[in-house]
Amino acid sequence: MKLVSKAFALMLASTALAATVSGPALAQKAANTVRFAYDQAPENVDPFFNNVRIGVIIGANVWDTLVYRDPTTNEYKGQLAKSWKQIDDKTIEFELREGVKFHNGEEFDADDVVYTLNFVAKPENKVVTQGNVNWIEKAEKVGKYTVRLTTKEIFPAAIEYLAGPVVIHPNEYYEKVGPKGQNDKPVGSGPYKVTNYVPGKSITLEVNKDYFKNSPKPQAKIGKIEIRFIPDRQTQMAEVLSGGADLIMSVPKDQADQLKTMPNLQVVSGETMRIVFMQINALENSPAPALKDERVRKAINHAIDREAMVKNIVGEGSRVINTICFPSQFGCTDEGAARYAYDPAKAKALLAEAGVKDLTLDIVAYRERNQTEALIGYLQAVGIKTNLRFLQYAAMREVISSGKANLTHQTWGSFSVNDVSANTPNYFAFRSEDITRDATVRDLLNKGNNSVAPEVRKQAYKEALKIIADKAYAVPLYSLPTYYVGSKDLTFKAYPDELVRFWEMTWK
């Protein structure tokens, strides 16, 4: 950590003089272009076939959804749908907007909605995050601009999902090219269209001048967005310092604090819905059999000083969490759940009681490496050695899904869906990344997802979250704030849902 900070300080000093010159930023302002750098690349630009944050960001700017949730008021507004009504407990009817066109000129109507929803609902089509779509039974065309959606079970959070990760594709194009073709040449109906894409390297968005006027997303003012995928944080920093990038995000706290001194830059931060946690492989065939012992899992929980990490590493806007969900999500609670105070002596005693000596565990992670290294230090202090495997997100997910992970350090932003169904079930309801497989927890989560009564949902989630905590199936850590660093001449806003709304941005 000290070496990284020193190297960054030297870079900061060496570029301070150049950074006072506003030439690069002025050039982009004149060209009406914003250059954005991000540390992960989507495995597929099609929003249904990736779940890394940059994929969500691209999805929101290039595609539209039936419903839009205002990020300030949380009010649901019509986007591709003008209106909707609940026909019965499992059926919603949508009246669609007329006059909307996709980027390839294809006209939007009920066929697009029906094809998209029926395609993603089929398990054999392998949407990456099944929880976003596995509640859909079918969609039926009632008229050219009328669609009925039926859910498999009662699913109170349907509109929340339809306002988030469930985008609509052009049916004629999508039927022809499928997810691979959507990745090669993406086509949506949103405020920006993709004009160039080099997988793993960059993607260019240009304003959709034909975007429909009554959308709750206003017509974009920035003409071009150039997004580069730059895995190395130091390279990102060098780019924003030199004027080679206009905006970066997820900047570590210590570096964001130093960048506040730069006259040509602005630092914006705030809490997000993203939670940070560690999974523990407690499966019967776990590659680390010691983790099947509840005492070992509890020792890992007691080994971590979460308060210190929040204060010294994570930064302003973060808070400690005690259960695997974000506090604002419907059904999220830590009431009655076990809490694990930082207690290295107790951690050592639990390991000794379990008869565990010289324990070495692999830990997989994909972002916030400085936080991973802090976690490793805490584990080492109680006698647990670790081998770090720092991977791209898709590779990490494959290790977890195949049951080969020992420990994980990861984050989850719930696709910005403000409901526990978008969070906890992803890791504890027998989906691919569940490395616990507790049937009681699974059944309680499913009950919470599919009950019509809000109080029944809350109680089911509460019981599930309590079992996860009491049995130490995971290590809930904290919420993750996001630090954005951008040109001082760029007007942008940070939202808790971590969506970068390029359509709202302007140059001053």
139 and 399 in contact (C-beta within 8 Å)? no
Task: State yes or no: pLDDT of 18 exceeds 60.
Answer: no
* Token pair of 135 as six digits: 């509640």
* Token pair of 269 as six digits: 């931060």
Give the ranges where 272-354 is alpha helix by DSSP (H). 294-303, 306-309, 344-353
Which residue has 């977890």 as its token pair? Answer: 400
Top pLDDT among 74 and 399 is at 399
The reported pTM is: 0.85
pLDDT at 316: 85
Q: How far is 266 from 490, CA to CA, in rounded Å?
A: 9
Task: State yes or no: pLDDT of 17 exceeds 50.
Answer: no
Q: How far is 159 from 415, CA to CA, in rounded Å?
A: 14
Q: How far is 364 from 362, CA to CA, in rounded Å?
A: 7
Which residue has 């830059």 as its token pair? Answer: 265
pLDDT at 308: 98
Q: What pLDDT band is residue 5 in, cutting at 50, 70 and 90? A: low
For 86: left if phi > 0, alpha if psi spans -120 to 50, otherwise beta; the answer is beta
Average pLDDT of the residues of the chain: 94
Radius of gyration of the chain (CA): 23
256 and 485 in contact (C-beta within 8 Å)? yes
Task: State yes or no: pLDDT of 19 exceeds 60.
Answer: no
pLDDT at 1: 41
pLDDT at 11: 53
Report phi then psi at 166, rounded to 5: -95, 85
Report phi then psi at 388, rounded to 5: -85, 130
CA 314 from centre of chain: 17
Question: From residue 412, how far is each of 76, 305, 313, 426 by CA, in Å?
Answer: 23, 20, 19, 10
| pLDDT tens digits for range 343-372 | 999 999 999 999 999 999 999 999 999 999
Within 13 Å, how many C-alpha atoms sit on residue 25's CB side? Answer: 24
Segment 283-299 shows an average pLDDT of 98
370 and 4 in contact (C-beta within 8 Å)? yes
Domains (ranges, CATH) in the chain? 1-31+234-270+483-508 (3.40.190.10), 36-200+226-231 (3.90.76.10), 275-479 (3.10.105.10)
Instruction: Of 70, 18, 4, give the one whose Cα is nearest residue 234.
Output: 4
Report phi then psi at 385, rounded to 5: -85, 150
For residue 300, give the 3-state DSSP assignment: helix
Distance spanning both ends of the chain, measured CA to CA: 36
pLDDT at 16: 47
Task: State yes or no: pLDDT of 8 exceeds 60.
Answer: no
**Which of 11-15, 50-54, 159-163 has maximum average pLDDT?**
159-163
Task: Show the CA angle centred on residue 54, arms to residues 60 and 281, nearest 5°.
Answer: 120
* Token pair of 363 as six digits: 């830990």
| pLDDT tens digits for range 214-249 | 999 999 999 999 999 999 989 999 999 999 999 999
Residues in the chain: 508
pLDDT at 24: 62
For residue 235, give the 3-state DSSP assignment: helix
Which of 11-20, 136-145, 160-169, 366-375 shows the lowest mean pLDDT across its residues? 11-20
pLDDT at 28: 76
Instruction: Of 64, 232, 81, 100, give the one whose Cα is nearest residue 146.
Output: 81
pLDDT at 26: 64
Amino acid identity, position 12: L
* Token pair of 366 as six digits: 């994909």
CA 89 from centre of chain: 30
Strands 407-412 and 474-479: unpaired
Task: State yes or no: pLDDT of 20 exceeds 50.
Answer: no
Segment 246-255 shows an average pLDDT of 93
Task: Show the CA angle centred on residue 35, arms to residues 31 and 36, nearest 5°.
Answer: 160
Report phi then psi at 394, rounded to 5: -60, -40
| pLDDT tens digits for range 305-353 | 999 999 999 988 899 999 999 999 999 999 999 999 999 999 999 999 9
| pLDDT tens digits for range 260-284 | 999 999 999 988 999 999 999 999 9
Residues above pLDDT 70, as percent of the chain: 95
Sign of CA pseudo-dihedral 131, 137, 155, 80: positive
Task: Show the CA angle centred on residue 367, arms to residues 186 and 327, nearest 5°.
Answer: 90
Sign of CA pseudo-dihedral 395, 401, 404, 405: positive
pLDDT at 248: 97
| pLDDT tens digits for range 110-141 | 999 999 999 999 999 999 999 999 999 999 99
Task: State yes or no: pLDDT of 21 exceeds 90.
Answer: no
Strands 506-507 and 490-491: antiparallel
According to DSSP, the residues that pair with 86 across neighbouring strands are 92
